[in-house]
Chain A
């Protein structure tokens, strides 16, 4: 992996990178840039995560005939900022019989793996931190690291609720990882590449992949959304923290900022799942019907964010409508329904491509 190949986001950053290269030796400059990008991404997505929390609360309120947060700032826009400030300033409490090292490590595992996945997304043609040719593979690999953090949290808390929650998380992620992987693989059959920027380029001429692959693509999309929701441990698959069964699940013993990391990671993971779906099915930053392709000043990021928010809304809709599955039904759904369907779907997609039935 050659870091100098990194595409620096937006044009103003180009001058910054030129300036850094001019005052430093090349190696030092590339490391400095890496650090700057990392800090920028961290700040950007921490704030984005906070606003997703606000969005979730607002959307939930509207589903539930409520108004939602509306006291802190105009329309409650500063509510989650205030919450985060509160969590930062809170005392970090813990019990005596915890495994201190693992207990403290777990939240960082979860949040870091979530943030790492953000690096490879092409938010627009220029706005991509790290364009590697195995992008999709990297995403799948990174997104399954997060579960180790959850397992660590449950194990090291020395709490029975947390342990049950963590074990559920383990079996859930291991099962649904298959469906996520296979449904992505179905789409990769269509594009023939794992590099995210090239996947998007493939959709510029032929239309979005969900249209190109028609029936198998739509099935793959549905499976991906179901499995993705399970992957992020959100309702109706929130067995990990199932509040009516386990109290708070794996983060029962966490408080303050460490709890906030888990909370934030859930929302960033939601963003990641939606982003993968947008890139693979809905043409990433490409505008619908190419309406803004020729407008030079129009930020391509806009379309990416709009599509992602649409899918996030869909996931929120799931959460505020459906009851939770039981743990054995969770596995039945994966192994008896999603996985066979997925395998059939891959074959179907292969036939579609072989016979050139793609649009």
Chain B
């Protein structure tokens, strides 16, 4: 008789499985877990720690916090950050001081490990929650983070 009880048990397990999927089918209207991505662009909000790309915030006077100490450049495991710097004479003190010329960031090489941001002593670079990074030309992924004509905020020392 185990022949028939096998059939009965088999059919029962199949129906149990069907009841699970069937339950979701009935509740399908509110159950969708997918996101309608390009449509929900306005409402889509990333978490505040989201690692999108590295940016350098500037204040209203076009000043930033980067002293050009190169900690980020050293911390970066794959050479995504290059800093071109120079020494300039500070008009007030008359001493020579390091200042950045260009803070170059290769997004195409970045692995979003976050070591540069941890290494920065002045919090001059931060994560931006921007994830739409696709471009047609690879050279567009090389970004200069400091804006033209910007300078370091007074009193920032590393």
- Measuring CB to CB, which residues of chain A are less than 8 angstroms from any residue of chain B? 59, 61-67, 317-318, 320-322, 337, 341
Contact = CB atoms under 8 A, between A and B. Distances in A.
A63 B27 CA distance: 9
Contact of B33 (A65, A317, A320): A65
B24 A65 contact: yes
B25 A67 contact: no
A55 to B, nearest CB: 13
A317 B22 contact: yes
Contact of B24 (A63, A67, A341): A63
Interface residues of B, dominant DSSP? helix
Given A63-B25, A337-B7, A322 B36 contact: no
A28 to B, nearest CB: 52
Contacts of B24: 62-65
Interface of B: 7, 14, 17-18, 20-22, 24-25, 28, 31-34, 36
B25 A59 contact: yes
Nearest to A314: B18
Contact of A321 (B7, B21, B28, B36): B21
Nearest to A313: B25
Given A62-B28, A63-B25, A65-B24, A322 B34 contact: no
Contacts of A322: 14, 17
Contacts of A341: 7
Nearest to B4: A341
B15 to A, nearest CB: 10
B32 A65 contact: yes
Contacts of A64: 24
A66 B31 CA distance: 8
A317 B7 CA distance: 20
A321 B17 contact: yes
B137 to A, nearest CB: 28
Given A62-B28, A321-B18, 6 more contacts: A59-B25, A61-B28, A66-B33, A67-B34, A317-B25, A318-B18
Contacts of B21: 63, 317, 320-321
Question: Which residue among A59, A61, A65, A341 has the maximum number of chain B CB atoms within 10 Å of its CB?
Answer: A65
A64 B32 CA distance: 8
B26 to A, nearest CB: 9
A227 B156 CA distance: 79
A337 B24 CA distance: 31
B22 A67 contact: no
A67 B18 contact: no
A124 to B, nearest CB: 30
